[in-house]
Amino acid sequence: MTPPSQSRRGFLFRLGIGLNVLGAALVGIPVVGYIFGPARRRTDGQSWIGLGPIGAFPAGETRLATYENPVRVPWDGATAKIACWVRHIKGERFQVFAVNCAHLGCPVRWFAQSRLFMCPCHGGAYYEDGSRASGPPPRGLFEYEYRVRDGALWVRGGQLPTLSRPV
Ligand code: FES
């Protein structure tokens, strides 16, 4: 039989090791999540989302469309709806633009009379093909990858565009 002081020392030693492991896990798990989280989101954030039948987008026109963000949580509410501009060129040729200005992200509006996208924040302007026309934006509008399947238009959505990570 072990003497009482030795068994108490062993217990305190094991308790110390356990507390150290617990402390390392409490500090380490958030750090690991912070480091590897963006890489995980990059791969699973995008998916193909239907925008509706192509008949809803007349050829030669640009129309606003919305889709439900595939990366959402229940309390997102109306903010889970993401807007995009759909330009139907002809046939199955489209361009789908993010509404966010390439300067600082304000939502751009389409003006059919002048055939320009205008940004209300700092006066950025884009031609109908999304290329930069004037103002502070450093590039044209961000474009979504799209495809036409069974008479419907689909876009690859699920992330907000940035200069370092276009859609
Ligand atoms: S955010 Fe559009 S021009 Fe600045």
List the pLDDT tens digit at each of the 167 positions of the chain.
556 667 889 999 999 999 999 999 999 988 888 888 766 655 556 789 999 999 999 999 999 999 988 888 888 888 889 999 999 999 999 999 999 999 999 999 999 999 999 999 999 999 999 999 999 999 999 999 999 999 999 998 876 666 666 65
Q: Which atom of ligand 1 is nearest to the CA of 136?
A: 3
Residue in 157, 104, 108 with CA at minimum distance from that of residue 131: 108
Show the domain range for 106: 47-157
How remote is the CA of residue 21 from the centroid of ligand 1, in Å? 49
- Find the residues whose C-beta lies inside 6 A of ligand 1: 101, 103-104, 106, 119, 121-122, 124, 135-137
Residue 20 lies in a domain: yes
Same domain membership, residue 123 and residue 68: yes
Same domain membership, residue 14 and residue 60: no
Same domain membership, residue 33 and residue 60: no
Which residues touch 102 (CB under 8 Å, ≥6 apart)? 124, 132, 137, 138, 139, 140, 141, 142, 161, 163
Side-chain-side CA neighbours of residue 103 (13 Å) = 18
Both tokens of 71, joined, read: 């990366």
Residue 167 lies in a domain: no
Query: Taking the model in full, what pTM does it have?
Result: 0.71
How remote is the CA of residue 96 from the centroid of ligand 1, in Å? 19
Rounded Cα–Cα distance for residues 119 and 138 (Å): 13
Residue 25: burial class (beta carbons within 10 Å; 0-12, 13-18, 19+): exposed
Same domain membership, residue 111 and residue 37: no
Q: Domain with 68 in it: what CATH number?
A: 2.102.10.10
- Regarding beta strands 132-134 and 125-127, do their DSSP bridges make them parallel or antiparallel, or are they unpaired? antiparallel
